[in-house]
Copies of this chain bind each other. A is one copy, B any other.
Amino acid sequence: MDLSSDLRLNDPEVYLRTYGRPHPRPELLGTFVYGVPELNRARLRGATRISGAGCIATASELALAPFLRHAILAKGDAIVDAKIGSSAAGARPGPSGHHPERAGAIRTYAPVGHRHEPEIAQALGGRLRIHLTATAVERVRGILVAAHLFVQDGTSEQDVLMALRESYEDEPFVRLVLARRGIHRVPDPRVLDGSNWCDIGFGLDRDSGRLVVMSAIDNLVKGTAGQAIQALNVSVGWDERSGLSFPGLHP
């Protein structure tokens, strides 16, 4: 189980373009199973080499994957606008994470060129052009991704819902957030601190054909360590939920 970003990409050329240096052991690329159980459960069973997925990548892939299984999209472009807490920048102190500079920030540290872009594209089988933007906001834990998509004419909320249900109704760690009213009608990472849930919701503008899929996780759990445990549970055949029962806090 490798939690770094070293072994997520399969193609040495893409690795070079993404990380700015050649991979030191290119023969290893492609030999690790990408550790997102919702995408790769069959391959994870019995796997002995697993690569953890990126945190923004995980949230994005879970937002997008259901719509590739259905001929619902009008275009092959997905604009993914991610908002993210400070813990995703790592534990090492530095100027950009210094509290007087970081508190209350809305800082788009990666308008373009984010390193998870090719990772997401690869995980989705290259069927979508991914355009990722990442913005740091005031939180310690948590990511909210908004994936902006355009659907085919005539697509209804029911169609979107069916795509989501089909993908996720048996998933132990994906919840659909579908309330019509109230504060909790959309996914929000603030209720996911410490949990392995990925909460997914959506909004559809039937006039313009724009579909916005929202996906929230705790980057330190479903985005890293929790998902690693989930993938490990799958690989060795244990109950996938072992060690991951914390439901989150509210408020």
Contacts and interface: CB of A to CB of B under 8 A. Distances in A.
Contact of A138 (B91, B110, B111, B137): B137
Interface stretch (A19-27, A35-43, A101-109): A101-109
A204 B103 CA distance: 27
Contacts of A91: 98, 100
A12 interface: no
A47 interface: no
Interface stretch (A2-10, A206-214, A222-230, A233-241): A206-214
B93 A212 contact: no
4 closest pairs, A vs B, by CB? A111-B203, A138-B138, A112-B205, A111-B212
Interface of A: 79, 81, 83, 85-87, 91-113, 129, 131, 133, 135, 137-142, 144, 146, 148, 182-183, 186-190, 193-194, 201-205, 208, 210, 212, 214, 216, 246, 249, 251
